Amino acid sequence: MTDLTTIIVVAVVVIVVAALAVAAATMLRKRHSAGLREQFGPEYERTVRGSDDPRDAEKELEQRRKRHRSLKLRDLEPQERDGYRRRWAQVQQSFVDDPGTAVRDADRLVADVMSARGYPIEDFDQQAEDLSVAYPVVTQRYREARDISREHAAGRAGTEDLRHAVTSYRALVEALLDDDRHAGDGADGGRRAGHDGTGAAANGTPPQYDGRRETRT
């Protein structure tokens, strides 16, 4: 084999190895992205849309997972869960007479449950990011509920908006209180017996949450 032939063979081998390495790296990256997309769902799409580079968005989501693992979370005792459920029942009952107060009480209840579970609650954006690791779908509804709460404070939210907010808070409360360490995904189950087309019960209170489930990680 001449020197020229040897050089050509070596060059071809190098090119093939490099191409295989690139293909392997691309495949690993796609799998990594798919895993993040599966875990974070709509939160993945939201984070990517808000970033100039999808890779930066994925790094942010990875940082969320790392931070979440560092949190000292705990399960609630049965009596604690019962107490919070009684508080939720009071929120739901108060909706008929004072929807605005019900929304404020629901938001306060969510913060109290989060704190009891071990989530920091000083900053809403951080709250939502921490929650999104385990509860990506209901986190989206939590954001919506907080937006409605702000709109109500500014006099721009109607009763139907407030009903939607309280129902969304309900989804998160149920997720955080769930005994078997799974979270409801917050999806409305559709029209059910005893509820009107807006998802409200006949007496005007928000419906009980009975959505699908997503596994906590």
Give the pTM. Answer: 0.70
7 and 94 fall within a common domain: no
92 and 194 fall within a common domain: yes
Place of tokens 């690791």: 133
Q: Please, what is the average pLDDT of the chain?
A: 81
58 and 136 fall within a common domain: no
Q: Which residues contact 178 (CB under 8 A, 6 or more apart)?
A: 184
What whole-number distance in Å separates Cα of residue 11 and Cα of residue 39? 42
Structure tokens at 88: 């939720």
Structure tokens at 206: 């928000």
- β-partners of residue 215 are 182
Final residue in a domain of this structure, among 15, 43, 70: 70
Question: Residue 75: what residue type?
Answer: D
How many helices (H) and strands (E) are present in the chain, helices listed first? 8, 2
3-state secondary structure of 213: strand
pLDDT digits (tens, 9 = 90+) for 96-123: 999 999 999 999 999 999 999 999 999 9
109 and 167 fall within a common domain: yes
DSSP conformational letter for 209:
P
Residue 137: which of 43, 24, 1, 36 has the closest Cα? 43
pLDDT at 207 over 70: no
3-state secondary structure of 156: coil
Contact predicate 163/200, CB 8 Å? yes
pLDDT of residue 27: 75
The secondary structure element, H or E, covering residue 152 is: helix 136-153
Q: pLDDT class for 8, splitting at 50, 70, 90?
A: confident
Q: Give the structural domain span for 164.
A: 78-215
- CA torsion sign for 64, 69, 72, 73 is positive
What whole-number distance in Å separates Cα of residue 21 and Cα of residue 27? 10
63 and 89 fall within a common domain: no
30 and 124 fall within a common domain: no
150 and 43 fall within a common domain: no
pLDDT at 129 over 80: yes
Contact predicate 143/46, CB 8 Å? no
Residue 149: which of 205, 208, 101 has the closest Cα? 101
8 and 94 fall within a common domain: no
Q: What is the mean pLDDT of residues 177-203?
A: 40
- β-partners of residue 213 are 184
What is the domain count for the chain? 2
206 and 107 fall within a common domain: yes
